């Protein structure tokens, strides 16, 4: 079998192929985290999956983060797993302006529902997705509930007096 | 002293109000039917979370809901008399619950067991229905998170009181029709 692969080898292989397009490696809590841009994410995933040595063949999750105060308001996060070497990598893509990113369905079939979920909660548009509609929330929902501009609390409730919760100055939609 | 087998040792249930004498007993249909129906309620458990676990204990031999005539759970809404909603109802589950309610035949009663079914409970959030009374009328609310089996039985006995005492014609009253109308049912 092939030699043991660790994060150092992974970084070297990615560096050879992508250079400065993949940057800022970190290891928070012992998990390699990389950053890239939306033009490089699909080739990067393709490379990591198809490389005979690395074999990151499993997409664990796709999710997003909302940073309302940053210029790049949304960040899409990919988690991939190499069963062969028992390694996991986190890849972050920051999006400025309209949150749009190409779909990863052509690399991982399982990305379909993950991207729908991310769209459902954050409104990130995955370009090229065949069926980008809500998956978990009710179809009638008009908001993307995990975005920070929307209140977490249900706004159909009429029995809650903000005074009782010590938040007289908090603006709520209702 | 020999046991007197002709005298009942325990009073099972009090007779309805009426006039009796040797060999006859006169009462109204309403009262006699209410008395009978009270002890033959078929509940439909709609259990979605932890309150459902408490209900399983309530049905089990320790607490034994069948003592109250609810021996037979109806897992089809068509034959059920009482819809027992136990657990968090997400907004996506709302239309399903309403459809189950609509499939039940009159007369029908609804009991909301636990904080979530009654008011949304701790789940004051965009995805959870803030009480099932937003979509279907509720007869009895049982508080608790989750309520003890004794509380569920107490709620069930309040339903029995309703079944016993309400007019057989209540379901035809304009108030009841207006109530259903306000929920957009039929």
Residue count (chain B): 186
**Between these two residues, B71 and A119, which has the higher pLDDT value?**
A119
Which pairing describes strands A32-36 and A23-26: parallel, antiparallel, or unpaired?
antiparallel
Average pLDDT over every residue of A86-106: 94
Helix (H) / strand (E) containing A16? helix A7-18
Q: pLDDT of A30-88, one tens digit each?
A: 999 999 999 999 999 999 999 999 999 999 999 999 999 999 999 999 999 999 999 99
Q: Which residues of A touch B91 (CB under 8 A)?
A: 137-138
> Which of A141, A143, A154 is facing B130, going by the closest CB pair?
A154
Using a CB-CB cut-off of 8 Å, the residues of chain B touching A136 are: 92, 127
- The string of DSSP codes covering B125-177 is STTB-S-GGGTS--SEEE-SSSPPHHHHHHHHHHHHHHHHHS-TTGGGSHHHH
Model pTM above 0.90: no
Query: Domain residues of chain A, as ranges?
Result: 7-142
3-state secondary structure (DSSP) of residue B17: coil
In which domain, by residue range, is B175 found?
37-182
Topology of domain A7-142, per CATH?
Answer: Beta Polymerase; domain 2 (3.30.460)
* CA B88/CA B151 separation, integer angstroms: 18
Query: Cα(A115)–Cα(A132) distance, rounded to whole angstroms?
Result: 8
> Does B127 sit within 8 Å of A137, measured CB to CB?
yes
Closest CA–CA distance from residue A140 to any residue of chain B (Å): 10
How do beta strands B19-21 and A125-127 pair? unpaired
Q: Does B78 fall in a domain?
A: yes
Three-class SS state of B116 = helix
**Confidence bin at A174 (pLDDT 50/70/90):** very low
B58: CATH: 3.40.50.12280
> Testing the interface with B: which of A138, A144, A147 to mutate, by most B Cβ within 10 A?
A138
Q: Among A142, A151, A156, A162, pick the best mutation site for testing chain B contact (most B Cβ within 10 A).
A: A156
> What is the distance in angstroms between the Cα of B10 and the nearest Cα belonging to chain A?
47
pLDDT, residue A170, reads: 54
* B20 within domain boundaries: no
pLDDT band for position B20 (cuts 50, 70, 90):
confident
Q: What is the pLDDT of residue B18?
A: 87
């Amino acid at each position: 079998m092939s030699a043991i692969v660790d994060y150092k080898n992974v970084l070297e292989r990615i560096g050879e192929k992508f250079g400065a397009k993949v940057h800022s490696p970190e290891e928070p809590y012992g998990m390699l985290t990389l950053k890239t841009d939306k033009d490089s994410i699909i080739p990067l995933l393709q490379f990591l999956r198809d490389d005979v040595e690395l074999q990151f063949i499993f997409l664990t999750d796709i999710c997003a983060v909302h940073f309302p105060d940053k210029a790049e308001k949304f960040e899409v996060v990919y988690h991939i797993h190499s069963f062969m070497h028992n390694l996991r990598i986190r890849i972050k893509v920051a999006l400025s302006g309209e949150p749009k990113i190409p779909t990863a369905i052509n690399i991982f079939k399982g990305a379909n529902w993950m991207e729908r979920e991310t769209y459902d909660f954050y409104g990130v548009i995955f370009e090229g997705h065949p069926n980008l509609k809500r998956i978990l929330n009710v179809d009638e929902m008009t908001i993307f509930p995990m975005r920070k501009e929307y209140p977490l609390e249900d706004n159909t409730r009429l029995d809650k007096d903000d005074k009782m919760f010590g938040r007289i100055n908090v603006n709520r939609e209702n | 002293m020999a046991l007197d087998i002709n005298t009942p040792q325990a009073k099972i249930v009090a007779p309805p109000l009426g006039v009796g004498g040797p060999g006859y007993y006169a009462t109204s249909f309403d009262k006699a039917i209410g008395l009978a129906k009270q002890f033959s309620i078929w509940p439909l458990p709609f259990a979605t979370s932890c309150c459902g676990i408490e209900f399983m204990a309530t049905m089990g031999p320790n607490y034994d809901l069948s003592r109250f005539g609810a021996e037979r759970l109806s897992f089809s809404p068509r034959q059920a008399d009482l819809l027992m909603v136990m657990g968090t109802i997400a907004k996506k589950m709302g239309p399903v619950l309403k459809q189950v309610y609509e499939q039940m035949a009159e007369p029908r009663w609804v009991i909301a067991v636990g904080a979530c079914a009654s008011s949304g409970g701790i789940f004051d959030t965009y995805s959870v229905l803030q009480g099932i009374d937003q979509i279907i009328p509720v007869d009895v609310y049982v508080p608790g998170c989750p309520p003890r089996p004794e509380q569920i039985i107490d709620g069930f006995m309040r339903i029995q009181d309703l079944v016993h005492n309400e007019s057989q014609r209540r379901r035809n009253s304009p108030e009841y029709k207006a109530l259903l109308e306000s929920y957009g049912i039929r």
